[in-house]
A and B are shown apart, each in its own frame.
Chain A
Amino acid sequence: MKQALVISGGGSKGAFAVGVVKDLMNIYQLDFNTLIGTSTGALIVPLVALGELEKLEDLYTSVTDDQILVKYNLGKRLNSNSIFTAGPLSDKIDALYTDEYFEKVLKSEKEIYLTTTCLQTEELVVFTTAKHPVENSYYNVRKIVSADQFRRAILASASQPVFMPPVKVNKTVPNETFPENQFVDGGVREYAGIGMAVDAGAEEIFTIIHSAKKLRIQTSN
């Protein structure tokens, strides 16, 4: 049975998803064939694909904002495209998702989908390791051709516009028509890629949504 894991955006709330995924894989022995991540979910699913749960737990329990973002005097960012830069996050992505790791992902035949939004076309663009991804009129599908593009797509999906700089995901892709196109968080267009899991042929879909439900506390007088 083809099982899919969908993880929504949600920043540091991704720690919750990591805990849920650990239980799903360790206690319920689930093995996901299709993994779809948006924003913080895009940071998580490539590690889930190869069962690197310890690295994932370490990432979400020991890293602080200051270790992934660089803050500035706001006056110095008036002419920039983001309030922060994300050099330290890029470094962490580079260290985690090496060329070897990308090769292992391809060999595993796990289908990873990373959702992004293109600033130039305003389209939802999904970067995937799937060999035969299904096209859909609602979103654009791009097959990932290199480890560099893989890392850029992860970073782009996690880059909240205004706060983090847009990423040129296709900058190093050979013969790319629009290498300068900029990509940001897929959550701008699609909070959780459940429809993509359906399109990918998943028969069971496990979705982790990070939006907290508002609770109304009733008081009795």
Chain B
Amino acid sequence: MALVLIFIVTGINAQTETEFTKGWLFNLKLTNGVATNFKSGSPDMYTGGLGINPQVTMVPGLLRIGINASAVYNDKKFSGLFGPMAALKLKTFGTENFGSFANMHLIAEANWGTNHQQMIGGGLGFEILSLAHIGLTAQRDYKLNNWWLQSFIAIRLNKIKQEEDRYAR
């Protein structure tokens, strides 16, 4: 029932929706943060990484899914991190008459690492001018018993298809 409602609502808004539009995007993503267990007296460990984050819109105006694939540095080791992610649009920022310029979305993600990391978490992201993403995430590593608290910035690498009227072509 909820799904039907979502599709009805998004169907109505399809004409005017300017964020999370149909299609896909390919992000280059840079992450920075700390890994901590909030308990031990030892300092939090720096963690940073660079990866790719392709996403495809599943429900226009509402939901995108994608994958994370990145190389991260943590605890004096390099690891590969891979996993699925989803983004749920919460709010569109825009002008009344001229379209939108950003959106805020909720992120859910899970990652498996080459050094036994098994993480699940999420965060809050902002997509700006369909070109850049920034945000904060928190992931719980339930295998190694710590938290990864990270900020990220991502740049869209794939070209944006320009819509053109038939009489303008």
Which A residues are within 8 Å of any B CB, using their own CB? 65-66, 70-81, 83-87, 90, 151-152, 155-156, 165-168, 171, 182
Q: List 8 A-B contacts (CB under 8 A).
A: A70-B163, A73-B19, A74-B98, A74-B129, A76-B130, A84-B99, A90-B166, A167-B165
Please determine whether B101 and A75 come into contact, CB atoms closer than 8 angstroms: yes
Selected contact of B167 from candidates A70, A74, A76, A155, CB within 8 Å? A155
* Residues of chain B lying within 8 A (CB to CB) of residue A84: 99
* Residues of chain B lying within 8 A (CB to CB) of residue A152: 167
For A76, A79, A81, A155, the residue with the greatest tally of chain B CB atoms inside 10 Å of its CB is A76
Please determine whether A90 and B165 come into contact, CB atoms closer than 8 angstroms: yes
| A143 CB to nearest chain B CB (Å) | 19
Selected contact of B130 from candidates A75, A90, A167, A168, CB within 8 Å? A75
| B37 CB to nearest chain A CB (Å) | 40
Please determine whether A76 and B16 come into contact, CB atoms closer than 8 angstroms: no
Whether a CB of chain A sits under 8 angstroms from the CB of B15 is yes
Supposing A73-B99, A73-B101 touch, asked if A168 and B163 sit within 8 A by C-beta, the answer is no
Please determine whether A71 and B16 come into contact, CB atoms closer than 8 angstroms: yes
* Residues of chain A lying within 8 A (CB to CB) of residue B99: 71-74, 77, 83-84
List B residues 86-130 near A (Cβ within 8 Å).
94, 97-102, 128-130
**Further pairs besides A73-B99, A77-B99, A87-B165: 4, Cβ < 8 Å:** A73-B19, A73-B21, A74-B99, A85-B163
List B residues 149-169 near A (Cβ within 8 Å).
160, 162-169
List B residues 23-66 near A (Cβ within 8 Å).
none
